[in-house]
């Protein structure tokens, strides 16, 4: 019997492989032309070490130096030895580009367009070769907008991974590229291309009760999660709190009601931010947490919403002294550009939260902003492997100029201009992602939207770690010398200095 294994890479790309009976994950990966990290193939070196998010497997034979007992207990595994006993989700510690793979591309036909409220549309796609499309409930794809010259917008599946016709939700925004197409020109029968799946926001194997939190059309990935749960034997309670700005933004309530019949132990509440709403529950989703929803921390939280919504939930939990077992989030916002449409899965928080939207982020959070900075570091360490020794003299000169421009906004441990530092610092960090020429890596970096995090916290009067400027110059110097070890060391150290700066600024802002 074969099993499906999802290989989730650091740049957000997920590839699915079939692993046969008594076949190792590594062997199946290479048969599928996906070159995951591998060296000895004997369980002796640990090069292929990965983390198993969900599923059961026979870990195989290996030595302590390759994988310790504590690591194995925590969920780490060796793909060169492991044989699946169920479907698996593995976190692979490299990028899809390094593994010589990429997101799959699919052709489809627009099969349905529904206006489900004054502000929201639902649309469905009939996918060519549907059997080749696999995704985890909660993930998204990049959809090419017809007639846009190849421009894409990203949307989470609102349908489960087993249904034949895949569906999505879109909030209509004036001037938005996909909004304009869907509202004004889209016709059933239009041909649409998309790539994916992508994202680290997806349903893990349920081991305890779950609390699902949605903002606006951020309901979409949670509907996909609910559809998956409806087909599972899940003995744990599931509660959804669905927050929107106004009454007209509430959609798919009949679908949610249907899930209360299809999923044992499922319940939901709706919360409207508008104080004049007819809704019984108003304000923010955090206003309506009940003790049974949080189970004294023995709960997995799945949240799809903008940065203020994520931070609002986190701060509420901290204030209550509650630490959930897992806090998974998809964190995004509207881009401040003329074509002001979400560049990733669309959603919004209640009004006061949505006003602070700055960017988009996707990931898993266990320690506030630190996870975002660590994710940036992981991407940068990967891109170093792809760019070291390949930058032309002019590119090296530009890289150095960007480092120097960021430095000019600093004076030792003080900001000369905190706002300008955020902009120039982003230009410096983005440089290598542009230089490598891999659009997936560039978009993975942009989705973290570290500049939005920094802009929300850093102020002129705040302290900055004095090593930050030297770190930038040190990274450039390592590239000039083609010293990959020095570059990796400088990037790692810089991540610590950046997090120290953010921690101090966050503390100051809270006082």
Kindly report the three-state secondary structure assignment for every residue of 40-85.
CCCCCCCCCCEEEEECCEECCCCCCCCCCHHHHHHCEECCCCCEEC
Confidence of residue 372 (pLDDT cuts 50, 70, 90): confident
Is residue 4 reached through a cis peptide bond, with omega within 30 degrees of 0 on the bond before it?
Answer: no
| H/E segment holding residue 28 | helix 25-31
pLDDT for res 237: 95
Confidence of residue 335 (pLDDT cuts 50, 70, 90): very low
- Inter-residue contact 273 to 352 (CB < 8 Å): yes
Nearest alpha carbon to residue 361 among 336, 329, 331: 331
pLDDT for res 114: 94
Q: Measure the CA–CA gap between 202 and 199, rounded to whole angstroms.
A: 8
**Ramachandran class of 112: left when φ > 0, alpha when ψ lies in -120 to 50, beta otherwise:** beta
What does the block give as tokens for 1?
């019997």
Nearest alpha carbon to residue 128 among 104, 99, 92: 104
Structural Rg of the chain based on CA atoms: 23
Q: Measure the CA–CA gap between 184 and 503, rounded to whole angstroms.
A: 47
Nearest alpha carbon to residue 141 among 101, 111, 104: 104
pLDDT for res 12: 79
Q: Measure the CA–CA gap between 196 and 106, rounded to whole angstroms.
A: 8
| Beta partners for residue 241, in sequence order | 213, 269
pLDDT for res 220: 94
Nearest 5°: CA angle at 80, between 79 and 82? 55
Q: For the chain, what percent of residues have pLDDT higher than 70?
A: 91
Confidence of residue 355 (pLDDT cuts 50, 70, 90): very low
| Residue 356 reports pLDDT greater than 50 | no
- Inter-residue contact 58 to 29 (CB < 8 Å): no
Q: Measure the CA–CA gap between 422 and 279, rounded to whole angstroms.
A: 40
pLDDT for res 400: 95
Confidence of residue 308 (pLDDT cuts 50, 70, 90): low
- Inter-residue contact 106 to 132 (CB < 8 Å): yes
Measure Cα distances from 126 to 153, 184, 276, 482 in Å.
18, 21, 40, 49
Q: Measure the CA–CA gap between 427 and 32, rounded to whole angstroms.
A: 37
| Beta partners for residue 304, in sequence order | 214, 330
C-alpha 352: how far from its chain's center? 24
pLDDT for res 307: 63
Largest CA distance in the chain: 65
Measure Cα distances from 412 to 35, 409, 427, 503 in Å.
44, 10, 20, 18
| Residue 363 reports pLDDT greater than 60 | no
**Helix or strand or coil: residue 503?**
helix
pLDDT for res 378: 86
Nearest alpha carbon to residue 225 among 245, 244, 239, 243: 239
Task: Give the residue-averaged pLDDT of 232-254.
Answer: 92
In sequence order, the 6+-apart residues with CB closer than 8 A to the CB of 280 are: none
Q: Measure the CA–CA gap between 88 and 438, rounded to whole angstroms.
A: 28
| Residue 153 reports pLDDT greater than 50 | yes
Sign of CA dihedral 499, 505, 507, 510: negative
Q: Where would I find the H helices in 388-437?
A: 393-407, 418-436
Is this structure's pTM higher than 0.75?
Answer: no
What does the block give as tokens for 10?
């650091």
Q: Which of 30-34, 288-292, 361-365, 402-406 has the lowest mean pLDDT?
A: 361-365
Q: Measure the CA–CA gap between 388 and 125, rounded to whole angstroms.
A: 41
- Inter-residue contact 406 to 413 (CB < 8 Å): no
**Helix or strand or coil: residue 287?**
helix
Mean pLDDT of the chain: 86
Nearest alpha carbon to residue 334 among 366, 312, 305: 305
Cβ density class 174-186: b for 16+ within 10 Å, e for less: eebbbbbbbbeeb
pLDDT for res 306: 66
Q: What is the pLDDT of residues 481-509, one digit of tens each?
A: 999 999 999 999 999 999 889 888 877 75
Phi, psi of 195 (to 5 degrees): -125, 150
Nearest 5°: CA angle at 231, between 228 and 234? 90
Q: Measure the CA–CA gap between 304 and 161, rounded to whole angstroms.
A: 18
What does the block give as tokens for 247?
């009454």
Confidence of residue 198 (pLDDT cuts 50, 70, 90): confident
| Residue 346 reports pLDDT greater than 70 | no
């Amino acid at each position: 019997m074969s099993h499906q294994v999802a290989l989730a890479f650091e740049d957000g790309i997920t590839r699915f492989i079939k692993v046969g009976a008594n076949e190792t994950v590594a062997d199946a990966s290479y048969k599928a032309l996906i070159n995951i990290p591998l060296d000895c193939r004997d369980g002796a070196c640990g090069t292929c070490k990965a983390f198993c998010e969900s599923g059961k497997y026979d870990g195989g034979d290996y030595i302590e130096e390759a994988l310790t007992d504590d690591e194995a207990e925590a969920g780490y595994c060796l793909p060169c030895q492991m044989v699946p006993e169920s479907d698996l989700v593995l976190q692979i510690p490299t990028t899809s580009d390094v593994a010589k793979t990429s997101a799959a591309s699919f052709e489809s036909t627009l099969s349905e367009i529904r206006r489900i409220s004054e502000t929201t549309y639902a649309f469905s796609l009939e996918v060519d070769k549907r059997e080749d499309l696999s995704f985890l409930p909660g993930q998204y794809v990049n959809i090419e907008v017809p007639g846009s010259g190849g421009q894409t917008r990203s949307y989470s599946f609102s349908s489960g991974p087993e249904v034949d016709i895949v569906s999505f939700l879109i909030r209509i925004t004036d001037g938005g590229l996909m909004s304009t197409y869907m509202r004004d020109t889209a016709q059933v029968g239009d041909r649409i291309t998309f790539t994916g799946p992508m994202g680290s926001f997806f349903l893990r194997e349920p081991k305890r009760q779950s609390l699902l939190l949605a903002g606006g059309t951020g309901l979409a990935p949670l509907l996909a999660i609910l559809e998956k749960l409806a087909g599972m034997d899940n003995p744990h309670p599931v509660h959804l709190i669905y927050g929107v700005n106004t009454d007209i933004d509430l959609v798919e309530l009949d679908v949610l009601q249907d899930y209360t019949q299809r999923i044992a132990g499922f319940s939901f509440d709706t919360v409207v931010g508008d104080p004049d709403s007819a809704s019984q529950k108003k304000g923010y989703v955090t206003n309506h947490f009940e003790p049974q929803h949080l189970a004294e921390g023995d709960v997995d939280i799945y949240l799809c919403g903008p940065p203020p919504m994520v931070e609002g939930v986190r701060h509420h939990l901290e204030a209550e002294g509650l630490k959930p077992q897992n806090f998974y989030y998809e964190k995004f916002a509207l881009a401040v550009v003329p074509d002001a449409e979400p560049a990733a899965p669309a959603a919004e928080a209640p009004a006061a939260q949505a006003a602070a939207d700055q960017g988009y982020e996707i990931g898993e959070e266990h320690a506030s902003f630190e996870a975002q900075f660590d994710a940036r570091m992981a991407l940068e360490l990967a891109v170093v492997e792809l760019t070291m020794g390949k930058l032309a003299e002019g590119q090296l000169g530009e890289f150095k100029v960007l480092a120097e421009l960021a430095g000019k906004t600093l004076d030792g441990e003080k900001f000369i201009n905190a706002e300008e530092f955020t902009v120039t610092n982003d230009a410096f960090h983005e440089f290598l992602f542009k230089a490598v020429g891999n659009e997936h890596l560039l978009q993975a970096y942009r989705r973290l939207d570290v500049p939005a995090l920094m802009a929300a916290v850093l102020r002129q009067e705040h302290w900055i770690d004095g090593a930050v400027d030297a770190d930038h110059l040190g990274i450039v110097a390592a590239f000039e010398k083609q010293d990959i070890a020095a570059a990796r060391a400088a990037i790692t150290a810089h991540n610590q200095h950046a997090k120290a700066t953010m921690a101090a600024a966050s503390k100051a802002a809270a006082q």
